[in-house]
């Protein structure tokens, strides 16, 4: 009888503290809404910087290399650990950059400044929670944009990475690759709702 009670207690405790699973490729495809159907696959990230950015729960990359140039990296960390001691400084820097790009977009609106104002900004959710968006990479090989926030026990990070296919000949490049029809902030909202619903 004692063994049974212990088993029930351990099972109940494990259930209460179970981490939310990573979203499926089908769920991510619904969030992103690509311009045409693709077969996204989910690959668990097992090495690299993202695993050192905080107390990692899981990190997954979602891609379809032969169908789209976009990869979405979705990461979950224990709350308060993402970027460690650099978090407040990073939030401050994003705030300063967001103000600068917003001002530039007003003074001399052009495609580049408007794009930067769109990708570097801070949103405030109805509950007062801040969501930070920034450029995570930019260069000849492609570009990366990301957004992060904290919900309850977790820090959430979403990155959208684009491969520019530089260095490939015209006949090697993807023909009519699928494009996301949702903006990064809208996709992150879906990820946030997923984590909220998983509580």
User: What confidence category does residue 7 fall into, taking pLDDT thresholds of 50, 70 and 90?
Assistant: very low
Q: Place 10 in a pLDDT band, splitting at 50, 70 and 90.
A: very low
pLDDT tens-place string over residues 146-183: 999 999 999 999 999 998 765 666 776 788 899 999 99
Q: Which residue has the higher pLDDT, 61 or 143?
A: 61
Mean pLDDT of 15-44: 91
Q: What is this structure's pTM?
A: 0.86
Evaluate if residue 21 carries a pLDDT over 50: yes
**Quick one: pLDDT at residue 140?**
66
- Calculate what percentage of the chain has a pLDDT beyond 70: 86
What three-state secondary structure class fits 61?
strand
Average confidence (pLDDT) over 115-134: 91
Q: Between β-strands 154-163 and 41-44, what pairing exists: parallel, antiparallel or unpaired?
A: unpaired
d(CA 53, CA 195): 19
Q: Give residue 193's pLDDT band: very low, low, confident or very high (50, 70, 90).
A: very high
What pLDDT is recorded for position 166? Answer: 59
Decide if 191 contacts 74 (C-beta within 8 A).
yes
CA atoms of 139 and 48, how far apart (whole Å): 19
Number of H helices, E strands in the chain: 5, 7
Q: How many residues are recorded in the chain?
A: 199
pLDDT of residue 173: 75
Average pLDDT score over the chain:
87
130 pLDDT exceeds 80? yes
pLDDT at 39 over 80: yes
User: What pLDDT is recorded for position 103?
Assistant: 86
Determine phi and psi for 38, rounding to 5 degrees: -135, 165
Residues 63-95 have pLDDT tens digits of 999 999 999 999 999 999 999 999 999 999 999
pLDDT at 97: 93
């Amino acid at each position: 009888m004692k063994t049974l009670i212990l088993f029930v207690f351990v099972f109940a405790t494990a259930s209460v503290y179970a981490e939310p699973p990573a979203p499926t490729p089908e769920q991510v495809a619904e969030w992103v809404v690509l311009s045409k159907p693709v077969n996204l696959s989910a690959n668990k990230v097992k090495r690299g910087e993202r695993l050192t950015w905080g107390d990692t729960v899981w990190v997954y990359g979602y891609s379809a290399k032969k169908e789209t140039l976009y990869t979405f990296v979705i990461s979950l960390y224990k709350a308060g650990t993402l970027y460690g001691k650099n978090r407040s400084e990073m939030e401050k820097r994003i705030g300063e950059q967001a103000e600068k790009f917003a001002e530039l977009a007003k003074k001399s609106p052009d495609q580049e400044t408007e794009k930067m104002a769109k990708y570097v900004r801070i949103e405030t959710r109805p509950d007062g929670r801040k969501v930070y968006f920034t450029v995570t990479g930019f260069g000849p090989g492609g570009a990366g944009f990301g957004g992060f926030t904290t919900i309850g026990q977790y820090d959430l990070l979403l990155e959208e990475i684009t491969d520019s296919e530089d260095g490939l000949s015209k006949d090697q490049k993807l023909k009519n690759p699928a494009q996301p029809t949702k903006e990064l902030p809208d996709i992150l909202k879906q990820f946030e709702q997923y984590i909220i619903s998983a509580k």
